[in-house]
């Protein structure tokens, strides 16, 4: 072979280069995982998932830029720097979900500061990693191949974890164990580097000891993850946590105390056993009883089965279609003995059909019409839920409502969130439906509001089912009376394009 041929030959990839490229895949996956975990926790605790994910991603990318810029000051012993950075990422990133869980329970005022401080720290460290790998690989890989190979493995790692995070990791492991697992993966990269560069590293024994200590710390965290979650949630919810799970859609927690069971979704109270009958009787019976003889009923949301329990008190009901996004909710409330006792095993009734689907999409696809539609969604704390309170949603609801039918929508507190309450009522009216707003007092929630939507005027029911604990003829007559501090106000219409309700809800409830 001639000298010119030798000069033109492409460098052959060594095992060490292949190992480093594999490390890039793991590094990218871990970095994105920590970013997603921070965004998920921020949306659980602070609400408004779009805002939280946007600010977390922006802060993380900014920190990565800072880390990349700082990498120029690391000139010697690059493998040693890379190993140390991996261990720091493993510790800070891996422990981040557990640390934030505990902070939210024991030091809630410090949560936001700690959240963004840890995101900045992890982002800076991850920003240091890739430039160091590229400079190490530069010893034996041509520049054009180096950039393409590193970016390819970087993007593949990001793709893998972006799919696995919501579909596999969080549902199976939860956020705390997922964070610690990926911290251990960073330690694995550090151990790999320890072996690959064993001939270059000074103080190899000291590096090995630190790797083992970090691995042991994270492994201990994995073993204690359940206790950490219980410790944080027992403090946060005060009562004993009897059931908790993280699904692709939300964090479900059921507690039990002197006041009975309480259900929380993403930290927000959904019902308390001691007074849930007030809420659910007020939600269901003004519309059901006014109809007279409802046969086909739909419930959108309400996966706990409490609204269905009230609906089944009407002998004319032939079918109830429950549309609940999260199958974990309907499974829990149809199988757990303590919870099925609360909803009178309503979800097992042969008249009830459970559909686990997004209510917006279900309304678009389904062609049935219903005598009564009960809309029992969580409050509009983020844009994903806020779309279920828009004029687009209510236009679809209108199409599924029989000419003589009634729909009823739970509509937050007209006292605490007066503008938000009337935004819902005004938005329903904007699609041509008549509205009848009303409110009740539920001790666990305070003053709470609902809106009946219909094509015909609503009238006071002549009779109610026997055995109710709260509603009676006198109570019904008082529900539609709004004092001055809850009276109607003009508002924007809540549209998919503006989500005005989410902004007003966050502003009003943020003051309390």
Answer left, alpha or beta for residue 203, where phi above 0 means left and psi between -120 and 50 means alpha.
left
User: What element of type H or E holds 355?
Assistant: strand 352-355
What tokens were used for 419? 């503008």
* Contact of 35 with 157, CB cutoff 8 Å: no
The closest of 216, 224, 218, 219 to 94, measured between CA atoms, is 218
Provide the token pair at 308.
Answer: 């269905």
What is the CA 478 to chain-centroid distance, rounded?
37
Check if the beta carbon of residue 267 is closer than 8 Å to that of residue 442: no
In the block, residue with structure tokens 């292949």: 18
Which value, in Å, is the radius of gyration of the alpha carbons in the chain?
A: 28
Q: Is 48 an active-site residue?
A: no
Cα–Cα distances in angstroms (integers) from residue 419 to residues 287, 410, 489, 505, 509, in the given order: 24, 15, 7, 8, 11
Nearest to residue 362, comparing CAs of 298, 294, 283, 429?
298
Neighbours of 481 (CB within 10 A): 9
CA distance 375 to 407: 7
Q: Which residues pair with residue 252 across a beta bridge?
A: 245, 265
Phi, psi dihedral angles at 428 (to 5 degrees): -65, -45
Cα 427 to Cα 393: distance, rounded to the nearest angstrom: 10
Q: What is the 3-state secondary structure (H, E, C) of 113-147?
A: HHHHHHHHHHHHHHHHHHHHHHHHHCCCCCHHHHH
Token pair, residue 45, equals 């605790």
DSSP category for residue 394: H
* Cα separation, 131 vs 214, whole angstroms: 24
> Any bridge partners for residue 315, and if so which?
none
Candidates 239, 376, 379, 398; catalytic one: 376
Strands 296-301 and 319-323 turn out to be parallel
Structure tokens at 179: 């964070």
Q: In angstroms, how far is the first alpha carbon of the chain from the final one?
A: 80
Cβ atoms of 90 and 190 closer than 8 Å? yes
**Within 10 Å of residue 223's Cβ, how many Cβ atoms?**
11
Find, among 343, 290, 289, the residue nearest to 315 by Cα: 289
Alpha carbons within 13 angstroms on the beta-carbon side of residue 387 total 10
Contact indicator for 508, 419 with CB cutoff of 8 Å: yes
- Residues with catalytic function: 376
């Amino acid at each position: 072979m001639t000298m010119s041929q030798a000069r033109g030959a492409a460098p052959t990839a060594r095992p060490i280069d292949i190992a480093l490229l594999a490390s890039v895949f793991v590094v990218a996956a871990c970095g994105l995982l920590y970013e997603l975990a921070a965004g998920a926790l921020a949306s659980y605790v602070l609400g408004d998932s779009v805002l939280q994910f946007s600010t977390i991603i922006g802060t993380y990318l900014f920190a990565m830029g800072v880390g990349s810029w700082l990498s120029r000051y690391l000139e010697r012993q690059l493998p040693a720097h890379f190993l140390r950075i991996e261990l720091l990422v493993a510790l800070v990133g891996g422990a981040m979900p557990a640390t934030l869980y505990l902070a939210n329970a024991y030091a809630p005022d410090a949560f936001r500061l700690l959240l963004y401080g840890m995101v900045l720290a992890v982002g800076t460290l991850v920003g240091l990693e890739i430039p160091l790998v590229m400079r190490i690989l530069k010893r034996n890989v041509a520049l054009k191949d180096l950039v393409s190979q590193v970016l390819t493995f970087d993007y593949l790692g990001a793709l893998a974890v972006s799919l696995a995070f919501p579909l596999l990791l969080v549902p199976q492991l939860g956020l705390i164990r997922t964070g610690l697992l990926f911290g251990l993966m960073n330690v694995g990269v550090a151990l790999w580097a320890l072996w690959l560069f064993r001939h270059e590293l000074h103080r190899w024994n000291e590096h090995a000891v630190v790797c083992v200590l970090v691995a042991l710390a994270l492994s201990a965290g994995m073993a204690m993850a359940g206790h950490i979650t219980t410790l944080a949630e027992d403090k946060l919810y005060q009562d004993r946590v009897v059931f908790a799970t993280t699904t692709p859609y939300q964090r479900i927690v059921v507690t039990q105390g002197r006041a009975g069971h309480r259900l929380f979704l993403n930290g927000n109270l959904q019902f308390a056993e001691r007074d849930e009958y007030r809420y659910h009787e007020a939600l269901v019976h003004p519309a059901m009883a006014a109809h007279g003889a409802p046969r086909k009923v739909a419930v959108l949301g309400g996966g706990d089965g409490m609204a269905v329990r009230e609906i089944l008190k009407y002998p004319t009901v032939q079918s109830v279609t429950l549309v609940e996004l999260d199958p974990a909710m309907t499974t829990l409330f149809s199988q757990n003995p303590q919870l099925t006792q609360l909803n009178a095993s309503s979800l097992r009734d042969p008249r009830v059909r459970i559909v686990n689907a997004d209510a917006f999409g279900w309304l678009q696809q389904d062609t049935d019409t219903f005598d009564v539609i009960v809309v029992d969604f969580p409050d509009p704390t983020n844009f994903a839920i806020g779309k279920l309170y828009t004029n687009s949603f209510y236009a679809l609801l209108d199409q599924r409502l029989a000419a003589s039918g009634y729909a009823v929508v739970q509509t937050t507190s007209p006292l605490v969130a007066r503008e938000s309450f009337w935004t819902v009522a005004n938005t329903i009216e904007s699609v041509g439906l008549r509205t009848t707003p009303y409110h009740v007092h539920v001790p666990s929630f305070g003053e709470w509001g609902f809106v009946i939507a219909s094509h015909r005027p609503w009238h006071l029911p002549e009779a109610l089912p026997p055995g109710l604990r709260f509603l009676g003829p006198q109570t019904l007559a008082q529900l539609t009376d709004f004092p001055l501090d809850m009276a109607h106000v003009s508002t924007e219409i809540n549209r998919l394009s503006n989500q005005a309700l989410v902004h007003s809800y966050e502003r009003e409830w943020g003051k309390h």
